[in-house]
Structure 1
Amino acid sequence: MEDCMRKLVSIVIPCYRSAEMIGGVVADINREMEKLQEKYRWEIILVNDCSPDNTFDVIRELCREYTNICGVNLARNFGQHAALMAGFHQVKGDILVCMDDDGQTPAFAIKDLLQGLEEGSDVVYAKYEHKHHNAFRNFGSRVNDLMLKFMLGKPADLYVSSFFAARRFIVDEMLRYQNAYPYVIGLVLRATRNIKNVTVEHQDRKAGESGYTLSKLLGLWFNGFTAFSEKPLRVATMIGTGCAFLGFLYGLYTIIKKLVNPMVPIGFSSLMSALMFIGGMLMLMVGLVGEYIGRMYICMNNAPQYVVREIVGEEEGEMDTDQKEETVQKKQEKPQEQ
């Protein structure tokens, strides 16, 4: 009866090149969640996004060591948001918590996110006062924030990050999205606006380097504004209208100039400049429309969000949660006894 009164927290972590870090992250989570075990039960879902190192081997060992862990191995690299969606399909809890695999999202802050949900919010995002990222990642975060404000209507005072907690109905709403280009932030914003921030200390990366490259960040931005907003097409229309208006004004200027001074030669360079400008804008607009059409074509062909190669820890996942927590505690106490 007591077990039924406690809410189950499902912690989803997408993993990439994290063989050296993920063990410490899991240990931190179990240690911090044990402090909250009077109110919460917990499970951890680790999704390996086809890491080139031995990350899934480490996940497999963690599933053997802790009975509250489920490991998902994707067949190829689908990206962070697709990996999150793969983890969401394994979630059994009343509350979802998403974290990074690098240790920069501190496990001790989970209680603050859960407190925010208890106060009535549907989603609670961690807000970092000072991010311990390099200049490239910080620049990418600022661009992503501007894109979210303009394209998806994110409130200006809302800070979004990869460390957040959400209620079960938000998870169910996100799982309704079946297209090939998931974008978790867009799915959250279209489900609810009852979102708050909790200030969290951003920690140094435990080991390794970030897997985000410029091409991956550009792909993420394209995915965000083409999957959940029609504003780029409206911007394209406005730019096309503006170019046509400027061309009309330039034509009037050329005619008036010729009438006032018939000796003025018609400039070849100005004509070519105008043609290059208008032609470039037209190609840009056609490319943008083609991006939308291409994504529609891929979705119509039922391209998968992700492909699961293997799932480990399912058998243990069927155990009673009290048994899970007891096993976790024994595993952590064993080194002390020795």
Structure 2
Amino acid sequence: MYLSVVIPVYNSERTIAPLTERLQACLVGQLFEIILVNDGSDDRSEIICQHIENQYGNVRFISLSRNFGEFNAVLCGLNQATGDYVVIIDDDFQNPPDAILTLIKTAETGNYDVVYSRYAQKQHHWFRNLGSWVVNRLTTYSIGKPRSLYLSSFKLIRREIVDEIIQYCGPYPYIDGLIFRVTRNVGSVEVPHNSRAEGRSNYTASKLISLFLNVFIGYSLWPIRLFTISGAALFGLSLLSGLFLLVGWLSKTISITGWGSVIWIGITGLGLQLLFLGILGEYIGKLFMTTSGLPPYVIKKSKRGK
């Protein structure tokens, strides 16, 4: 068995070298490679990753031309990976490297295509936990994820699934969405979750909103179908209301007066139209960006990258 460990690197100049050393120690006896993908870091991460590649023969380093986002960096790493299994692990030491062996054992025992880690107690900031909860709830409906499965970033993927994922060439990759397009043979195993060794989470409010929109719109027709159903329901309600008012007016049991109600109905209808147009615009915009040939990432530096 040959193992690939993909690490998206962003502003981790103090953790990436110790993490690599720890991986080299805990995976002794395994045939493995480590792929570092620098996602446009603002600190010295690129220089340090270059030193690590020069130090270890089983480390490959790719530097992207700018910050494309975590999933784009992971997709780049998956394109470089050659292992029978590929493990994705964060660069902040919150995922214990020795738990990789637990993921491998679970995959082999259960014959799973993908194994996600789950945590008894997460050490993320409350805001990150809230964002994860929202996204996990959303993906239950949008990509068909089992309700009980937690979509963690620390996971193992079998080679056959990786080969299908890397067929994606659009600018908005969502790795978990791509996984569930390919397979439902997914397992999970509990592993420890540590506090961040350095710094703070790079997930800002804007990044979480971007992720939410990507999952909500980019990987499912569920939102637009929901609005279609809502529009049909509102149209039917308006017909019934109009019929009720007409009958009441003809029978002189209802007096139709007052501009306030008319204005309220007009504003409500306008708001719904703008909301629906906004959702439709998101779909059209993503379709345009995808068909325009915008790449998911651009490699700036790599000895053997593609």
SS of the residue corresponding to residue 89 of structure 1 reads helix
> Which of residues 242, 248, 258 in structure 1 aligns to 2:249?
258
1:113 to 2:107 alignment = no
d(CA) in 2 for partners of 1:117, 1:101: 23
Residue range with higher mean Cα deviation, 18-27 or 106-115: 18-27
> Which of residues 207, 210, 233 in structure 1 aligns to 2:201?
210
Letter of the aligned partner of 1:303 in structure 2? L
What is the aligned partner in structure 1 of residue 25 from structure 2? 31
Q: Any residues of structure 2 matched to 1:7-156 within 5 Å, and which?
A: 7-34=1-28, 37=29, 40-119=30-109, 120-156=111-147
Letter of the aligned partner of 1:15 in structure 2? V
1:280 to 2:301 alignment = no
d(CA) in 2 for partners of 1:131, 1:288: 33
Contact between 1:13 and 1:98, CA under 8 Å: does it hold in 2?
yes
Following TM superposition, by how much is the alpha carbon of 1:150 offset from its aligned partner in structure 2, in angstroms?
0.9
Letter of the aligned partner of 1:236 in structure 2? F
d(CA) in 1 for partners of 2:12, 2:237: 53
Letter of the aligned partner of 1:21 in structure 2? T
> Which of residues 261, 273, 282 in structure 2 aligns to 1:291?
282
> Which of residues 237, 245, 252 in structure 2 aligns to 1:246?
237
What is the aligned partner in structure 1 of residue 259 from structure 2? 268
Q: Decide whether aligned partners of structure 1 residues 260 and 148 sit closer, same or farther in structure 2, where only a CA change above 3 A counts.
A: same
d(CA) in 1 for partners of 2:87, 2:176: 14
> What's the CA shift string for 1:116-137, capped at 9, x where partnerless?
1211111100011110011100
Following TM superposition, by how much is the alpha carbon of 1:265 offset from its aligned partner in structure 2, in angstroms?
4.8
d(CA) in 1 for partners of 2:251, 2:122: 62
Runs of 4+ in structure 1 over 6 Å off: none
Letter of the aligned partner of 2:268 in structure 1? F
1:301 to 2:292 alignment = yes
Letter of the aligned partner of 1:46 in structure 2? L
Letter of the aligned partner of 1:25 in structure 2? L
Following TM superposition, by how much is the alpha carbon of 1:266 offset from its aligned partner in structure 2, in angstroms?
1.6
- RMSD of equivalent CA atoms: 1.6
Contact between 2:248 and 2:254, CA under 8 Å: does it hold in 1?
no
d(CA) in 1 for partners of 2:216, 2:180: 13
Letter of the aligned partner of 1:231 in structure 2? W
Contact between 2:137 and 2:147, CA under 8 Å: does it hold in 1?
no
> What's the CA shift string for 1:245-283, capped at 9, x where partnerless?
222233234334434557835221111111111111111
d(CA) in 1 for partners of 2:14, 2:254: 77
Q: Decide whether aligned partners of structure 1 residues 297 and 263 sit closer, same or farther in structure 2, where only a CA change above 3 A counts.
A: closer
Q: What are the ranges of 5 or more consecutive residues in structure 2 without an aligned counterpart? A: none
Residue range with higher mean Cα deviation, 241-250 or 297-306: 241-250
d(CA) in 1 for partners of 2:26, 2:15: 17
> What's the CA shift string for 1:198-243, capped at 9, x where partnerless?
0011101000111111111111121123222111110110111122
Q: TM-score, normalised by structure 1?
A: 0.86
